[in-house]
Structure 1
Amino acid sequence: MAIPAEFDEIRPYDTGEVQQAFNELLADRQFSTMLRGIVPWLPKSLRNAVLKIAFIGVKSPLDFQKRFMKPIVRHIIWKYTDGCTFDDNCLPRDFSLRYTFVSNHRDIVLDSALLDVMLVKTGYPTTVEIGIGDNLLIYPWIKRLVRMNKAFTVRRGLTPKEMLRSSQIMSRYIHYAVTQKHENIWIAQREGRAKDSDDRTQDSVLKMLAMGGEGKPIDSLREINIVPLTISYEFDPCDYLKAQEFQQKRDNPAFKKSRQDDLDNMKTGIFGYKGRVHYHCAAPINTWIDELGDLPKTEFFAALSKRIDRELHANYCLFPCNYIALDELEGTKKYAQHYTEADKKRFEDYLKGQLEKVKIANPDEKFLRERMLTMYANPLRNYLKAKAE
């Protein structure tokens, strides 16, 4: 199937393009430097020879994921988590269906990578294509690697006119990928991660998804089979970096993260301890979206965002640290039945260790601690509200 040329600037590599991209990756000096840091005992000639042998038989991005990325991500799960679980009981038992997973955003790299492993492990025939901001594609080798890993580019920092065109092309591509390429899609519910873990779906994301189909927004969205997906981490290894950024912005409203900050967040998210991790699929919105069909367009998207949020919030997997954080912030023991003294000590030791990693001038420990506690309390707050509704 020939992919329309209008998608060339954003799409992942297609079958037939992966081999050339791989050869270009091996020839990239920055990629070689990165590999040398991972396996310093192997000379460049041997590193490349080993990779070339391992690449034999890889013809598509899915082949690449299964051959290279799946073992890496499984190692990350083994070494840096206490296990990753996946609940898809609300999805139909029909593996021929494809989905657009709209999820909360916890980790720049791993949100979709862990989902890929869970889908393959559960028996789904393919993984997900993912939207990744071009602000993270700092070097040519990173762009090549993510395109080999089924990523399409989300352009950032555009003028309003450019943003409209970019959103239209991306939406058409997502519809094309689901309906013609028969791929799943993963996309975050908002631009960037929710630094305080107060996960909210941006109307603009849903409006973008609706641009690329035919008919009314409800018909267009029905076409791509959206599934609200909740990602729960027991511990967020980037929590201290997020708290640090809160203080930097408090002290200097003009503060902006650097490219190195983005790389530090990616590295910390991958190689930091996460405790238990859980992915939970809600029922596809097609099972209830008709309830919103008579609303005017502006009210429709607001109501849809609210309903997706409720589905996401109701499916959080809660851990002792969530209850401890909310009790500490509120100065109560209201949720004490959900944790033990050992849980409290473990969480306190964890927070102390994370706060010690903060590397800024004049760290405001009280403020930083409150920000981190809020990150762990907000999923519980939203869960309780969703269940009450």
Structure 2
Amino acid sequence: MSKFDSIRPFYDSEVNQALKEVASHPMMKAIMNFTFPDQRDEEWTEQLLKTHSIRDFQINFIYHSVRKVLDISSNGLTTSGFEQLEPNTAYLFISNHRDIILDTSLLNATLFEHGLLMTTSAIGDNLVKKPFLRTLSKLTRNFVVYRGLGNKAMLEYSKLNSEFIREAIFSQNRSVWIAQREGRTKDGMDLTQKGVLKMLSKACESLSLEEYFLKLKIVPVSISYENDPTDVLKMPELLAKAREETYVKQKNEDFRTLMSGIMGQKKRIHISVGKVLDQEINTIFERENSVNKQLQALVEELDRVIVRNYRLWPTNYIALDLLNQTDEHREHYSVEEKEEFQARIRKGVEMENAVAVRNFLSMYANPVIHKEKMHLLAP
């Protein structure tokens, strides 16, 4: 047994058997009928059962599913920065995180289109409790990050995750995607948790921390959706937080959010990747002499790049003006766009609940506020 068996995706040698086991599953049938509406079930099933690697499954099936999702639920995907990346080179992508499935799916589709290595991606264990979803996640090269464990088990799995990431990048020449924080950003404030970098540092072994971070080739990723398809679904948790209450998820809430994120209307989407943080890491380690300060400085650099490269949409400026009851940013949106956004609020939020309305608007306004606080907006 591999020490990574509890978290790793399938090996290619396991792919065909796994596909045979789920080929007739209703959810696989739904995915394939959605992706290939003009094919008979026998046609895609025949091709599925001839598939023997994760890459073939991703390219021949999942990539087409992602393009189909974009066609029906968005006004298109634009990208920037990918021309800076080198083919056949493994990177550690540290990304803001807005949608459970699409963030990594869209990144991998873009990497594939640019002839770059696709990723193995972190996914919370709460999202793969259903056997089919667990199998599908392993077929799309996800590795599991366990949540809600005791301190001892959490430390053990944190070290295991860090070693898996090291193994993927250094030994398998496989890029890795991880979120900048545990879970998705609910309030629009994309902030890196220092714990993510602490987790990574557990596998530096014989290398100095500076050498290790340089060798990981850390690339910040910013993904922005004009409309968050799960905005209304985030309201209960944000309201509980505002009341200083512990939020308890409803049964199947994660699955409903997952499906809403995939199929909900997003309008425009943009993904931007920054440059490898090599000079920045050198500067940080020259300037700071304690590990704690080095990690904090790297957190701040990741935040700066992710926020700088985040694409602001009319919805962000509209929300900020509605929040402040001004028209200060009116040059960034049209009257029609404002009316459309206000209709979206009325449809999804109880307008008499002032806290809910404020939370909804803040979710969209915070990216602008964040850029302003970090002095990253053009004058």
The verdict on a shared fold, with TM-score over 0.5 as the criterion, is yes
1:70 counterpart residue number: 63
With normalisation by structure 1, the TM-score equals 0.89
- Correspondence 1:131-280 to 2 at 5 A: 131-214=122-205, 215-250=207-242, 253-280=245-272
For the 8 Å contact 2:23–2:29, the answer to whether it is kept is no
1:279, CA displacement in angstroms? 0.4
Question: For the aligned residues, what is the CA RMSD?
Answer: 2.3
Assess if the C-alpha contact under 8 Å between 2:22 and 2:28 holds in 1: no
Q: 1:82 aligns with which of 71, 75, 80?
A: 75
Instruction: Say whether the 8 Å CA contact 2:102–2:262 is kept in structure 1.
Output: yes
Closer, same or farther: CA 206–40 of 1 in aligned 2, 3 Å: closer
1:388–1:108: structure 2 CA closer, same or farther, 3 Å change rule? closer
Counterpart Cα distance in 1 of 2:353 and 2:90: 46
Matches within 5 A, 1:78-117: 78-88=71-81, 91-92=84-85, 94-117=86-109
Name whichever of 32-41 and 215-224 sits farther off.
Answer: 32-41
Instruction: Indicate conservation of the 8 Å contact 1:213/1:223, yes or no.
Output: no
Name which of structure 1's ranges 158-167 and 56-65 shifts more when overlaid on structure 2: 56-65
Aligned match of 1:306 in 300, 304, 314? 300
Greater CA drift, 321-330 or 168-177: 321-330
- The TM-score with structure 2 as length reference comes to 0.91
Indicate if the aligned counterparts of 2:23 and 2:48 stay in contact, CA closer than 8 A.
no
Q: What runs of 5+ residues in structure 1 fail to find an aligned partner?
A: 357-362
Would the aligned equivalents of 1:90 and 1:283 in 2 still touch at CA under 8 Å? no
Aligned counterparts of 1:261 and 1:374: Cα–Cα separation in 2: 23
**What displacement does 1:56 show?**
4.8
Q: Does 1:17 align with 2:10?
A: no
- In structure 2, relative to structure 1, the CA distance for the partners of 1:349 and 1:157 (3 Å cut) is same
2:375 corresponds to which residue? 387
Structure 1 residue 317 and structure 2 residue 305: aligned? no
Distance 2:293 2:10 in 1: 38
The 1-side partners of 2:300 and 2:370 are apart by 12
Is the 8 Å Cα contact of residues 93 and 219 (structure 2) preserved in structure 1?
yes
Provide the rounded CA distance (Å) in 2 between the counterparts of 1:246 and 1:114. Answer: 26
Q: What is the alpha-carbon distance in structure 1 between the residues aligned to residue 248 and residue 176 of structure 2?
A: 30
User: Pairwise mapping of residues 352-363 of structure 1 onto structure 2 (< 5 A)?
Assistant: 352-355=346-349
Alpha-carbon contact 1:178-1:184 (below 8 Å) kept: yes
CA offset at residue 157 of structure 1? 1.3
Question: Identity over the aligned pairs, expressed in percent?
Answer: 34
